[in-house]
Amino acid sequence: MTPGEQLAAFLRNVAQTSDSPLGLVVERASGCTIHAAGGREYLDLLAGIGVCALGHGNARVLEAIRVQAEKHLHVMVYGELVQEAQAALARKLASVLPATLDNVYFTNSGTEAVEGALKLARKATGRTWLVSCSGGFHGDTMGSVSVGGNPVYRTPFEPLVGDVAQIDFNDFDGLAVIDERHAAVIVEPVQAEAGVILPKPGWLAALRARCSEHGVLLIFDEVLTGFGRTGSLFAFEREGVVPDVLVLAKALGGGLPLGAFIASRSVMRTLSHDPPLAHVTTFGGHPLSCAAGLASLEVMLEEKLADRAARLGEWFTDRLRQRLRSPAVREIRHAGLLIGIEFDAASRAAAFTQACRSEGLLLGWTLHDDRVVRLAPPLVIHEAELDDASLRMERALSRTAAG
């Protein structure tokens, strides 16, 4: 199809999720660049919303996909046949996580992993109530929306899964809500869609202590923050707080669809009896995705990309603070290479994003705070590319202010 035919088919036959999709016709992607129809190039500062941690077209990942594709694709519903790619990735994940997170249940996506984690918590504790945080985002299926922190995305689909209480992220007093009624608390250790909100010192530790005191499972949603994004392999390492259940996706699959929820064997075993097959999936842990994910994780560890993200995040944020000096920019926050630029108004953030696109930069605002522009570039991005990006953003801000 020609680029025009592709766009027409996209608008007519692909279900739309907004009234104004970006509509870029992608020809190919390589490194940190997306090549669009007409020869236009965009520096990708979103990495597919955190998916492409190694950039586009990493040679090790592509080779792993090729090798696995020649062996086999789907062979059986999840959890029945031994597949090397699944077993190897699960073993590797267990090796880099605390000893209490040694049992992996693979899914297709982050929201499916959240659903599995919520079911696991209810099954393991025998309780029904859940606790989540205002501003939190955990996906778009029914259970995930039920624990989401923005009423805008909950209200149209009510009634949702019941027995959910919400507390404010970073509110120490709010932790008193958590008691023996609750099966689990689900929280992002860094809130991404809320505008890159970092936890106050000690808050996650206090949350951990409260959950332990009342036998409540603590679920950390690291769908976006995992795999080096925040400057440590997992964001919970920044605070030294270990969850009972860890939810992963996005960068987990090396660019292919893959999610997981991880717990101890003793907790996870509750899904295998009363009844057996209490949680099943057909395509979860697809061998292609697991092979790609293993190759991606190996590259991350060998090249110490988490450390690199910590160093580059500090450097890039300093550059942005120097070059985006304007009354319109209220604050620039970051955790590693997860960066939020908060504007004084949503209209200003939207105009800035559009101006950046004209400068050949791909970025966007956060779902739960449209005043905040989020950056999540590939962890392999070069310093020179980030420096160039900051100059383009400076020009975009100047045009936005002038307009």
Comparing 175-184, 202-211, 272-281, 332-341, the range with the smallest average pLDDT is 272-281
pLDDT of residue 402: 63
Alpha carbon distance 39, 56 (integer Å): 17
Name the pLDDT band for 301 (thresholds 50, 70, 90).
very high
Alpha carbon distance 344, 330 (integer Å): 6
pLDDT of residue 379: 98
Per-position b or e across 254-274, b if 16+ CB within 10 A of its CB:
bbbbbbbbbbbeebbebbeee
Q: Is there a contact between 146 and 160 (Cβ–Cβ < 8 Å)?
A: yes
Residues annotated as part of the active site: 137, 221, 250
Share of the chain above pLDDT 90, in %: 93
Q: Is there a contact between 203 and 168 (Cβ–Cβ < 8 Å)?
A: no
Q: Is there a contact between 242 and 98 (Cβ–Cβ < 8 Å)?
A: yes
Mean pLDDT of the chain: 96
Q: Averaged over 353-358, what is the pLDDT?
A: 96
Q: Is there a contact between 88 and 236 (Cβ–Cβ < 8 Å)?
A: no
Q: Averaged over 341-362, what is the pLDDT?
A: 96
Q: Is there a contact between 133 and 191 (Cβ–Cβ < 8 Å)?
A: yes
**Which structural domains are found in the chain, ordered by start?**
3-57+304-402 (3.90.1150.10), 59-302 (3.40.640.10)
Strand 41-44 to 361-362 pairing: parallel
Reduced to 3 states (helix: H, G, I; strand: E, B; else coil), residue 209 is: helix
Q: Is there a contact between 376 and 337 (Cβ–Cβ < 8 Å)?
A: yes
Alpha carbon distance 111, 142 (integer Å): 9
Model pLDDT for residues 125-138, shown as the tens digit of each residue: 999 999 999 999 99
CA dihedral 302, 99, 49, 232 (to 10 degrees): -60
Alpha carbon distance 169, 45 (integer Å): 27
Name the pLDDT band for 403 (thresholds 50, 70, 90).
low
**Bridge-partner residues for 221, per DSSP?**
247
Model pLDDT for residues 309-351, shown as the tens digit of each residue: 999 999 999 999 999 999 999 999 999 999 999 999 999 999 9
Comparing 197-211, 233-247, 267-281, 284-298, the range with the smallest average pLDDT is 267-281
Name the pLDDT band for 380 (thresholds 50, 70, 90).
very high
DSSP state of 276: T
CA dihedral 155, 159, 162, 164 (to 10 degrees): 0
Q: Averaged over 184-189, what is the pLDDT?
A: 98
Q: Which sign, positive or negative, has the C-alpha torsion 281, 285, 288, 289? A: positive
pLDDT of residue 400: 85
> E strands of 195-266, at which residues?
217-221, 245-248, 259-263
**Bridge-partner residues for 29, per DSSP?**
34
Model pLDDT for residues 3-35, shown as the tens digit of each residue: 999 999 999 999 988 888 888 999 999 999 999
Q: Is 399 exposed, middle or buried (0-12, 13-18, 19+ CB in 10 A)?
A: middle
